[in-house]
Amino acid sequence: MTLGAYLRMVLTQDPGVAALAADRVYSEVLPQAPTPPAVVFDVVSADEDISLSGPTGVRRVSVVVDSWARKRADATALGLAVRRVLAGHSGAAGGLEVQAAFLVSERWAYDAEVDLYRTTQDFEVWTSGEEAP
């Protein structure tokens, strides 16, 4: 399982996120003419963990999560729901193990192009195991 598939599974199965965004959890791009609120996540980089003995089998992955809504309060509420799910999360599925996820930073903005507010969160996710397409 890919980390992207895993994240979508975890976010859509969470009652708090689902109550606000239903199944509107997307990878990389907010769809054209979106129905907010919605969540978009992007796996932006990954580094292999290396010890003096060589690769440890653990990867540190940077993930950006945007929670979009028509009102700032709704984007904030969805961002809080995402934070409750992912900050401190660990679990496994499909041969992929998420050892830990940490919230690194958080910010808020308005995007005039799509006329939506968003809460952006940067997570550091430590994974191991098989990551298959």
- Residue 111 located in a structural domain: no
Is the per-residue pLDDT at 131 higher than 80?
A: no
Residue with tokens 């992929």: 96
Q: The domain containing residue 11 runs over which residues?
A: 3-105
DSSP-derived pairing of the beta strands 38-51 and 25-27 = parallel
| Percent of the chain whose pLDDT exceeds 70 | 98
The mean of the pLDDT values for the chain is 94
How far apart (Å, rounded) are the C-alpha atoms in residues 46 and 125? 9
- Residue 119 located in a structural domain: no
- Residue 117 located in a structural domain: no
- Residue 31 located in a structural domain: yes
Chain center to CA of 18:
14
- Residue 129 located in a structural domain: no
**Predicted local confidence at residue 133, as pLDDT:** 41
Domain count, the chain: 1
- pLDDT confidence band for 87 (50 / 70 / 90): very high
- Residue 83 located in a structural domain: yes
- pLDDT confidence band for 86 (50 / 70 / 90): very high
Render pLDDT for 12-68 as a digit per residue (tens, 0 to 9).
Answer: 999 999 999 999 999 999 998 899 999 999 999 988 878 888 888 889 999 999 999
Q: What is the pTM of this model?
A: 0.92
Render pLDDT for 24-38 as a digit per residue (tens, 0 to 9).
Answer: 999 999 998 899 999
- Residue 130 located in a structural domain: no
Q: What is the DSSP string of 26-79?
A: EESSPPSS--SSEEEEEEEEEEEEEETTEEEEEEEEEEEEEEEESSHHHHHHHH
- Residue 16 located in a structural domain: yes
